[in-house]
Structure 1
Amino acid sequence: MQLFPAMPYEDWLETKDTMHRFTQIVGKVRLAASPRRNHWWNVPFHLTGRGLTTRPMGGPTDQFCIDFDLVRHRLVVDRGDGRSAEFALVGQSVASFHANLFEILDDFGIDVEIQAVPFDLTDRTPFAEDTKHAAYDAALVNRYWVILSQVASVLERYAADFCGKTSPVHHFWHTFDLAVTRFTGKTVEVSPEADPVTREAYSQEVISAGFWFGDEERPWPAFYSYTAPEPAGLDREPLWPDWAVWMPSRGSHLAVLKYDDVRAADDPIATVLGFLESAYEAGARQTGCDAAGLASIDGVTDPYLRHR
């Protein structure tokens, strides 16, 4: 299997727009049917050996799970009583995907309501009416999952070196990125005027890292890191390698390393890990985070093992 296969933004834009909406529909079901967790950790998808999963949700006696099988290109709904139903992803519009999923949920006696419009997307056509987004290139969707899986493996390795509060490595369907977040331990005073998504996500100081597939503003895939709230001077901190940059983003800055530059590196995995660590160290220095005290090199906190 090729490490970090090519994924030009423009090559799969139509498929990406469709798949993004498919994941938002399922993600909104997850949001409605799962207990709320701090910083919205209940909401994202996790990866499986075949695609993406919501993980089990619902109550103890009416559990169900929704999986994107991106090898067979099927959406699979499993109920806790053993019933299962699925349908093909190929050939679906957003409207037909929405209708098919909710028909299955209704047949299974699962009553869940969602806000059935896209979140934070330019085209906010209600899902049930969206016949425009219907592109689904199976090979490109499979490559999307392969890249997610490979990047997740690198992020898991990065996560191992931190023993403080940290999120899982998870895939946010609203922003279509894969992320892992480290918490410095400091509480943040959040403006009551901020939206509730932001207030919950950033109620504590964080240094986050991840990967996204590109958007209209930055039409290329990239690895990223940011510190929130951003301390003064962060964008003047050095990054590694020297082709990584700080980019302005919504009044703050992202540390950015383009995916295609990583693909061309002699050691892509070491390049990503070095970049993420340099961005973390930049945030830790500027926030006064106790980086040494929160370290767990190679995932080890055992005081007898780590000093050998």
Structure 2
Amino acid sequence: MELFPPIPLAEWQDTKETLHRFAQIVGKIRLAASPRRNHWWNVPFHLTGRGITTRPMGQVDGNPAFTIDFDFVDHKLAVTTLDGRAVSFPLLGESVASFEAKTLNALAALGVEVDIAIPRPFDLPDGSRPFAEDHEHATYDPAHARRYWWVLSQVALVLEEFAAGFSGKTSPVHHFWHTFDIAHSRFSGRRIEQPAQVDPVTREAYSRELISFGFWFGDNTFSAPAFYSYTAPEPAGLAEQPLSPASAQWVARNDSHLAVLPYDSARAESDPRAAVLAFYESAYQAGAVCAGWDIAGFACPGGTTDAHLRAPGG
């Protein structure tokens, strides 16, 4: 299978907008049915061999333990309990409204009771419209959905490889239903006091200094898929630091800067995987140098922290 197959936003935007809202519905169920983790790490999706999963949840809230999985091979949503009971339905032909109703009905059939606190999109243009009233978003192209999962899976493996080189606190490689991106973050350990007016989601997400790395499929403000990185809070001089490969650049966004490597530029490199790894490493060095991180102390060559194991014959 081709590494990083083409996925221009314009070709699948209608499917993407529908899938994004499907994911937000399931993500909000995950938010309601799982113990809270620092930086909201309990909430994102993880990759599987057939799609994406919530991972097991429930139990602590009185519900049976259950998972919700998007299957992009057979193109269905499956709700499964720990005792093996399952309810599924096809993704093709569903509007956001009908998808929400069928998902909640599947949960009820398995004895799961979950209250979605705010049953409408988060930070999307139609954020004031309840999911139950959204009959507009109803496009699901199986080929595009499968391509989305392929790209996510390939990027996840590159991020896992990059993550191995850091021994400090790191996030999982996970897929956020908020912005529909896949990301991994490294932390220095420094506490960050957010201004009082900052919203609760942002306060928890950025309560510690971090450098984040990821990939998104594009949106209305940035219309092409791209690999990215940012440092938060942004240190002075960040956007003056070099990036690799040559096609990477700093992009001003919301009073800060993103390091951006366009997806198609990475695809055009002789070794796309190496180009993306070099991009992430250059963005890390830029942020870590400017913010004064202990780069040598956080280093984890070959994914090991024991110098004996890294020695010849170790």
Normalised-by-shorter TM-score class: over 0.9
Determine the structure 2 residue equivalent to 1:104.
Answer: 106
Distance 1:59 1:194 in 2: 32
The share of aligned pairs that are identical, in percent, is 61
| Among 135, 138, 142, the residue aligned to 1:131 | 135
Determine the structure 2 residue equivalent to 1:39.
Answer: 39
Distance 2:99 2:105 in 1: 10
Distance 1:143 1:305 in 2: 39
Determine the structure 1 residue equivalent to 2:17.
Answer: 17
Distance 1:267 1:26 in 2: 36
Determine the structure 2 residue equivalent to 1:260.
Answer: 264
How far has the Cα of 1:222 moved from its partner? 0.2
Determine the structure 1 residue equivalent to 2:220.
Answer: 216
The letter for the 2-side match of 1:102 is: L
Determine the structure 2 residue equivalent to 1:62.
Answer: 64
Distance 1:248 1:198 in 2: 19
Distance 2:289 2:253 in 1: 21
Range 101-110 or range 19-28, more displaced: 101-110
Matches within 5 A, 1:80-159: 80-114=82-116, 115-124=118-127, 125-159=129-163
The letter for the 2-side match of 1:92 is: E
Distance 1:297 1:220 in 2: 33
How far has the Cα of 1:80 moved from its partner? 1.8
Alignment RMSD (CA, Å) = 0.8
How far has the Cα of 1:243 moved from its partner? 1.5
Determine the structure 2 residue equivalent to 1:191.
Answer: 195
- Structure 2: unaligned runs, 5 residues or longer: none
Matches within 5 A, 1:142-181: 142-181=146-185
Q: Can you list the C-alpha shifts for 1:113-151, whole angstroms capped at 9, x where unaligned?
A: 111100000122211111100000000000000000000
The letter for the 1-side match of 2:67 is: C
Determine the structure 2 residue equivalent to 1:231.
Answer: 235
| Among 285, 288, 294, the residue aligned to 2:292 | 288
How far has the Cα of 1:81 moved from its partner? 2.4
Distance 1:126 1:164 in 2: 41
> TM-score, normalised on structure 2?
0.97
Range 110-119 or range 133-142, more displaced: 110-119
Give the conservation status (yes or no) of the 8 Å contact 2:57–2:65.
yes
Distance 1:141 1:200 in 2: 31
Distance 2:103 2:83 in 1: 18
How far has the Cα of 1:307 moved from its partner? 2.9
The letter for the 2-side match of 1:73 is: H
The letter for the 1-side match of 2:254 is: R
Determine the structure 1 residue equivalent to 2:73.
Answer: 71
Moved over 4 A (4+): none
Distance 2:308 2:58 in 1: 43
Q: Can you list the C-alpha shifts for 1:38-67, whole angstroms capped at 9, x where unaligned?
A: 000000000000000000001167111000
Distance 1:198 1:7 in 2: 30
Distance 1:103 1:268 in 2: 44
> TM-score, normalised on structure 1?
0.99
Range 85-94 or range 242-251, more displaced: 242-251
Matched residue of 2:295: which SS?
A: coil
